[in-house]
Amino acid sequence: MSVYFDNAATTPLAPEVLDAMVPYMKEHFGNPSSIHSHGRKTKSAIEKARKKVADLLNTSPSEIFFTSGGTEADNFAIKRSIDTFNLTHAISSPLEHHAVLHTLEHLQKIGKVKLSMVNTDGKGNIDYDHLRDLLQGNSRSLVSLMHGNNEVGNLTDMERIGELCKEYQALYHSDTVQTMGHYVHDLQKLNVDFVVGSAHKFHGPKGVGFLYVNADAKIKPMIYGGAQERNMRGGTENLYGIIGLAKALELAYEEMNEHRTSIEQVKLYMIEQLKHKIAGVDFNGESGNLDKSLYTVLNVCLPPTDNADMLLFNLDIHQISASGGSACSSGSDVGSHVLRALDRPKDRGAVRFSFSRYNTKEEVDYVVEKLAEMYTVSDLS
């Protein structure tokens, strides 16, 4: 059996999404900036896709900007908000995706901002009282706190953060890459200035995403050199990627409750089976708590072993695809910055299993069986 449990890294393309994209790969190929009929047709398709995304998020199409993905969108929001509004202070957490952390750390290094890290507890939960203290004790700030953690699944309270930011006139950016398409984001009800989506996290194509920019937080362009995206991002649009993104998000919203129920059942079943089959198993962050974590992510803390670094290798031998953390860090030997921040023991193997609507309990049985064999028979040797 081959099992794909790495959906937080990327999801398989939904067949309906491919069907929507193919005509724009084969027949409707005009440059959207061209004024002839071929160009007008594709320009119209992009604007319909933009309106679809905006409608789903309950906002205006003028506040949606298509990008190459989540990393660009995060950079766009952070760099340009600091530059546009002359901000000198930013607040984030040590658990953020590197698209956020590395960008803010670079801006601090070159003297653009002072960076403050909000306190988190041993499970990775935000200390909201400390966030208030940081907002109160500094100049106008940019707050960048993700909605759902890509490694341990912790959810933040976007409404609470938004109200604090409103109280202290801070700008609020949230990396919503892991929750977009899995949770409802009503942008009329949230006091948030920037949110981010990446199509390949909700069964859309790779290489395309979007940034929502609140009309009250209009920022400077990210890429100069063309009038695309209303002069905010020069360069010929990823036409069929944008079509696929809108279709994928539409499907995600239409079937969200059904998919959530299905995925939660798989996650809960895996928690139960791991506890039953492997003594001493634990869960990193809040990922084992369905009320406080992404229903798509389970970060498993396995019993101590001298061969914890062989865990993913052994899973791969059995055709099980999972992750030790963020896919953006795989292949490097630095380990997970999130698990380091949570001070997790190094002799305990950590595996992030992440699920989609295509996963089954039968796959869970296979994965748990192989893990149990490793720990009771071979001890990963």
Q: Which residues are catalytic?
A: 328
CA atoms within 13 A on the CB side of 360: 6
CA angle 97, 100, 101 (to 5 degrees): 80
Contact of 213 with 174, CB cutoff 8 Å: no
Contact of 20 with 243, CB cutoff 8 Å: yes
Query: Using CA of residue 260, residue 265, residue 269, residue 272, what is the dihedral sign?
Result: positive
Which contiguous run of DSSP H or E holds residue 194? Answer: strand 194-198
Phi, psi of 264 (to 5 degrees): -60, -35
SS3 readout for 26-71: HCCCCCCCCCCHHHHHHHHHHHHHHHHHHHHCCCCHHHEEEECCHH
CB neighbour class for 190 (10 Å; exposed up to 12, middle 13-18, buried from 19): buried
- Looking at the DSSP bridge assignments, the partners of residue 223 are 233
Helix count and strand count (H, E) for the chain: 12, 12
